[in-house]
Structure 1
Amino acid sequence: MSQNLYIKDFKSLKVWQKATELTSEIYKITKKFPKFETHIIVSQLLRACTSIGANIAEGNTQLYKSREYYHYNLALGSAGETRNFLAIALMNEYITKEEYNVLESRLIEIIKMLYGCIKKLEPEQSNE
């Protein structure tokens, strides 16, 4: 086996960096949610938002482009799920409209970046 093995570093991806920054913000915001929501919306929201970065990392580390494509698509789904739970948090007044707008804007940026990652892989993916 070659000693010059190239290891991709997901931490260098801007989309992963933005996803983990978003997750950090959501962790901070959920601390002020009502206690009874800990095992309901807080748990779901944290799972969804942490899944965005986790799937980006897992996809970027895959050997085959089709697996990378698959995980980026899962990250997109988690971003949609996160948007859903943030909308519910806003409706229940657990976050302010301003907080919601900032988080929503960051999510939209991440979603657009993920679409770009997926589009970049599409021509290559069909060759596997």
Structure 2
Amino acid sequence: MSKDNIPENVSIKDFKQLTVWQKAMELSDEVYRIVRDFPDFEKYAMTSQIVRATTSISANIAEGNGQLYDKKQFSFFNNALGSASEVRSWLDQAFRRQYIDEATFHRLDAMTTEVIKMILGYMKRLKAMVYSGKE
């Protein structure tokens, strides 16, 4: 990348200030708490997968927020969206296998759905900026 490709008004963005990142971190913290009680034989299967998917949400939000261009940021937020949907699927499987109770399932599913809605809202704003030529 040449210096000519770097926008003039570049500033440091702090992903930690994004409410969506904060909510994704809260979800991740909760998932880490519940997987401690999963059966040992799930350690390298479901436990690993749900932890990886959950941590991927906040990591993709952070990485996307650090991009110079809105189109690249959009792509990372899209990855976060996919990871959040994957978390919902793992939560459903954990509930079906009775690794989590119904109340925990509904609470975590609601938290994940809230993060998904926030990601979608952020993506809509980014899309509007990209197509308005303000990138």
Name the TM-score class by shorter chain. Answer: over 0.9
SS in 2 for 1:53: helix
Contact 2:81 / 2:116 at 8 angstroms: preserved in 1?
yes
Q: Which runs of 5+ in 1 are unaligned?
A: none
1:61 aligns with 2:63: no
Q: 1:9 aligns with which of 10, 14, 17?
A: 14
Q: Which runs of 5+ in 2 are unaligned?
A: 4-8
Contact 1:69 / 1:125 at 8 angstroms: preserved in 2?
no
Question: Counterpart in 1 of 2:96?
Answer: 91
Aligned counterparts of 1:123 and 1:117: Cα–Cα separation in 2: 10
Aligned counterparts of 2:110 and 2:58: Cα–Cα separation in 1: 17
Using the size of structure 2 for normalisation, the TM-score is: 0.89
SS in 1 for 2:98: coil
Q: 1:119 aligns with which of 87, 111, 124?
A: 124
Q: How many residue pairs are counted as aligned between the two chains?
A: 126
SS in 1 for 2:68: coil
Using the size of structure 1 for normalisation, the TM-score is: 0.94
Moved over 6 A (4+): none
1:51 aligns with 2:44: no
RMSD, aligned α-carbons: 1.4
Contact 1:8 / 1:60 at 8 angstroms: preserved in 2?
yes
Identity %: 47
Contact 1:11 / 1:17 at 8 angstroms: preserved in 2?
yes
